Structure 1
Amino acid sequence: MTERTTCLVAGGGPAGMVLGLLLARAGVDVTVLEKHGDFLRDFRGDTVHPSTQVLLDELGLGDKFAALPQSRLDQVAIPTEGGATLTVADFRLLDIPHPYVAMVPQWDLLDLLAEAGRAEPHFHLLMDTEVVGLRWDKGRVTGVRYRTAAGEIGEIAAELTVGCDGRWSVVRTLAGLRPREFPVPMDTWWFRLPREGQERATLVPGMRHGHFAIVIPREGYFQIAYLARKGLDAQLRAEGLDAFRARIADVLPEFADRAGKLESMDDVHHLDVRLNLLRRWHADGVLCIGDAAHAMSPIGGVGINLAVQDAVATARLLAGPLRRGRVTRCDLARVHRRRRLPTVLVQAIQRAMHRGIVRPAIEGRRSGPPKPLARLLRVIPGAQRIPAYLIGVGLFPERAPEFARRP
C-alpha cells in the first residue's frame, strides 16, 4: 500500500528540516525522511550564521535558539609569519541583530526545528527511514521507495521529491544528476581538545612548517580541524597517535600540553573534502538543494548557511505550485536560477582561498596570509567588514516568507 504526501524531503539536516517546517506552515503536506534514529552525529557543521539566526527570529524560534548551549565567535583571525595575528573578519562591525557566529551542536538545532515542525499539522518526520529508490512514471519522479531500520520496505508517492541528503546524495544519483567536481588540495581531520577557563572565543588557525590547523572555540572544549594533503588519511593512521600528536604540537604549540588528551586515532574523524556543483539542480518531479546540489569546502564554514538559504528560497518559490498540486520543471528551474549565482560566487572565493592560503600552507611555502591581503586589511579602515558580511550574511540572503513567520 503506497503512502502519499505532497512534498517528500529526503534528509533531515538543516536544509531538509527548514524546508519541511516552512512548507508545512504554508499548508503543504510534507514528509521528511531521516535515515538515522536521532540527530546525534559528531563533527557535523555546527556554525549558525547571523543570517540564519535572523531567520530563526522570523520563524518565532529565536528565544529557544538563544537558550541552547553555544559559544559565539565575533572575529576570524589569521596568524602572520611574524607571530602576530591579523583579523580578517570582524562581525561586530556589521549593523545586524546578531553580530557573531553561534557555535551550536547541530543536533540541538535540528531538535529545535523538529519540535517546531511537529507543532504543524502538515509536517511529518519519519526517523530511521532511508531512501533506497525513486518511483517513476513516464520519465517523471513521483516519490520514493524507502527502507526502515527494521528492514521494512515501503513507498511514498509525492508531487515533488527534494534531495537534501548531503554530498553523497542518493536522490541525486538515482535521478541521474551528475555534479561537476572541482580540484581540492586538502582533506580535514576533526577532533576535540579541552578548553581551559575563559579563553577568548576567536577563530584562529595555525600555519607553520607545512601544517595547517583551525581552532574553533566551543562550549567547554576546542574543536580542531587539521588540514593536510588530500589522500593522507591512511598514512596518518599508519604513523600512529604519537606522530599525530607531534603534528598538532608543531602547528599549535600552545596546545602541545593538551595533545596528549587524544587517546586514540579513533578520536580523529576524517572528512573527505569535496567541492562540486550540479549543472542542473532538478529533473521532472525532483529537486536537489544544499550539499546535494553543491558540496562546499569547510573553508569559511558557510555550507550550512547556503543550504538553509536554498531551503528558504525553495519554500518561497514552490509553496504556491505545491498547494495547487502541480510543480513543473519551470517552477524547479526558478529555484536553480535563484540560488545558482550565490553558490558559484562563494565557491569561486573558496577555490581562491585554496590556491592562495591553504595550498601554500600545507606545502610549507607560507606560514601566514598573502602579503597583499595583509596590507589591504591593515591599511583600509573597516576592511574586515567585507569578509564578515560574506561569511555571516552571505550573497543574496533569503528572508522567511510571510506565511512562515511567527511572533
Structure 2
Amino acid sequence: MGAPARSVTRTTCAVVGGGPAGAMLSLLLARAGVSVTLLEAHPDFDREFRGDTLHPSVMEVMDQLGLAGRLLELRHSKVRSFTLDTPKGPFTPVDFSRLNTRFPYITMMPQASFLEFLTAEARRYPGFRLVMGARVRELVEEGGAVRGVRYESGDGTHEVRASLTVGADGRGSRVRRLAGFEPVKTSPPMDVVWFRVPRSPGDPEGAMARFGRGRIVVLLDRDDHWQAGYVIPKGTFPELRRAGVEGLKVGFAELFPELSDRLAALGDRRQVSLLSVESSRCRRWHRPGLLLIGDAAHVMSPVGGVGINYAIGDAVVAANVLAGPLRECQERLVALPERHLAAVQRRREPPVRTIQALQALVQRRVLAPTLAAGRPFAPPLPLRLLSRAPLLRSVPARIIGFGPLPARVDLPQGGVERAGPPG
C-alpha cells in the first residue's frame, strides 16, 4: 500500500482507460443511468494514434445512439475499397460499397476527435465523471473482490471505490497485470513502421497496398495525407533503424516510385513510429468486481484494421449485459454477481476467436510468404478467385466491416441529460 489517499470517491463503475472501449462503455452506462468514473492516464487525447478506422459496425452503433450525423460533421475521410497491386495488375479484393448499410465505407477519423466526441456526449449525463492524468497504481481489494482503484494525479494519490472496475487500458494494460491475468500470445510474422506521406488532390481514394521482396507497403487515405504502413519481417526493425530514414525512403520508393519525391519532408526517426505486432487473448476476462475489455482482454493483429471495432463491440455488449445489474447495485448497495461478467466474455469471446483465426490465416498464407527474403508476391488461390468473381468481394468486406457477430445497442436511455450543449 502506498501513500494515503488524499480523497476517496464512490461510483458504481470505474472504467480505467479512455480509449475507444472505455469511452464508449462510459457513455452507454451513463446514458443508461449508471454512475461512471472514467480514468485516463494521459492529460489529454491529443496524441498520435495508430488506429483511426471506424468500420460500418461502429457507425451503425453511433447511428443507433442518434450520433452518427453529428460525428460525421467532424473532419474525416471515407475508404470505400481496398486495392492490391500484384504482378498481374491491380485488383480490389475488398469493396465496402456492396454492403447493405447506410455506411458502406470505413470512416477514417483521428482517434483523438472520436474520443473527445464520445466523452463530450457522456458529459451530458450527471452520473459521468472524467479524470484526466489519472495513473492507476493499485487495485483496491476486499474479501477476494476488486472494489476500486488507487491512482495518482498531479495533486497526489486518490482512491475511487466502485461496484465494478473495468480494465480498458489497452494492450499494455496495468489493470490486467495488477489482477494477475496472463494473456496467451501468438507470434505474427511482421512489425509495422508508420509514417505520413503528403497526399495530392489527384491521388486515388481509399486504401492501397503493394507487395515486394521482403516488404509490404499499405497506404490509408487520411484526406490531407496518406498514413503509410511499412510492413517488415518480425524483429528486423533494428536493421532498418541502422539504415536510417534514407533506407526507409529507398524501400518505400521501390514499391511506390511515383510517390518517392514526397518523402523529402521525412527528415528523422521522430517522424516514424514502430508498431510491434502481436496477437493475444486472456483465457479469463473477469474476476469478482473486475472485467477486462478491448485490448486489455485481447490484442488484435492489424490485419483488417479491426481492433477498435472489436473493442467497441466489447463495450456495447458489456453495457447491454451490465447496465441493469449495475443500476440494481446502485439502488440497493449490493455486490455485482460475477455471472454477469462471465456473460460478457461468453458473448464476446467467439467473435474475437473467429477474427483472430482469420487474421492468423492471412498472416500465414499471404503475409509470411511475402515477407520471406527473396520471394516475390504470388497471390494465393482465394485472392485469385476474388479477382475473377467480383460478387465474392462482399464476403471479405462483410467480415472486415461487421465481423461474424456485430454488436447492437440493446438498452434504453435511463440517464437524464444535463441542459445545454455537450462539453
**Of the candidates 58, 64, 69, which is equivalent to residue 52 of structure 1?**
58
Distance 2:121 2:32 in 1: 14
Residue identity (%)? 41
- Residue correspondences, number: 404
Q: Which amino acid aligns with 2:200?
A: E
The residue that corresponds to 1:192 in the other structure is 196
Distance 1:270 1:404, change over 3 A: farther
Structure 1: runs of 5 or more not aligned? none
Distance 1:405 1:48 in 2: 26
Distance 1:190 1:74 in 2: 22
Query: Deviations for 1:28-58, whole angstroms, at most 9, x for unmatched residues?
Result: 1000000111111213310011111111111
Q: Which moved more, 1:315-324 or 1:355-364?
A: 355-364
The residue that corresponds to 2:421 in the other structure is none
**Of the candidates 166, 177, 185, which is equivalent to residue 170 of structure 2?**
166
Do residues 63 (structure 1) and 69 (structure 2) align? yes
TM-score by length of 2: 0.93
Aligned 8 A contact 1:143 1:157 in 2: yes
The residue that corresponds to 2:214 in the other structure is 210
Distance 1:404 1:247 in 2: 52
Aligned partner of residue 88 in structure 1, secondary structure:
strand
Aligned 8 A contact 2:199 2:226 in 1: yes
The residue that corresponds to 1:119 in the other structure is 124
Aligned partner of residue 412 in structure 2, secondary structure:
helix
Do residues 7 (structure 1) and 31 (structure 2) align? no
The residue that corresponds to 1:346 in the other structure is 355
Q: Which amino acid aligns with 1:115?
A: A
Superposed, 1:232-251 pairs within 5 Å as 232-251=236-255
Structure 1 vs Structure 2 CA RMSD: 1.5
Distance 2:166 2:346 in 1: 16
Deviation at 1:102, TM superposition (A): 0.6
Q: Which amino acid aligns with 1:199?
A: D
Q: Which amino acid aligns with 1:222?
A: W
Distance 1:57 1:367 in 2: 44
Q: Which moved more, 1:55-64 or 1:296-305?
A: 55-64
Q: Which amino acid aligns with 1:15?
A: A
Do residues 371 (structure 1) and 377 (structure 2) align? no
**Of the candidates 396, 407, 412, which is equivalent to residue 403 of structure 1?**
412
Distance 1:151 1:229 in 2: 44
TM-score by length of 1: 0.96
Aligned 8 A contact 2:33 2:413 in 1: no
Superposed, 1:224-263 pairs within 5 Å as 224-263=228-267
Deviation at 1:377, TM superposition (A): 0.8
Deviation at 1:363, TM superposition (A): 1.3
The residue that corresponds to 2:337 in the other structure is 328
Distance 1:358 1:55 in 2: 32
Deviation at 1:370, TM superposition (A): 2.7
The residue that corresponds to 1:91 in the other structure is 96
Q: Which amino acid aligns with 1:47?
A: T
Structure 2: runs of 5 or more not aligned? 1-6, 330-334, 416-423
Deviation at 1:380, TM superposition (A): 3.2
Q: Which amino acid aligns with 1:172?
A: R
Query: Deviations for 1:227-278, whole angstroms, at most 9, x for unmatched residues?
Result: 1122222222221121111111112222211122211111110111110000
Distance 2:49 2:36 in 1: 28
Query: Deviations for 1:291-327, whole angstroms, at most 9, x for unmatched residues?
Result: 0000001110000000001000000001111111132
Aligned 8 A contact 1:140 1:285 in 2: yes
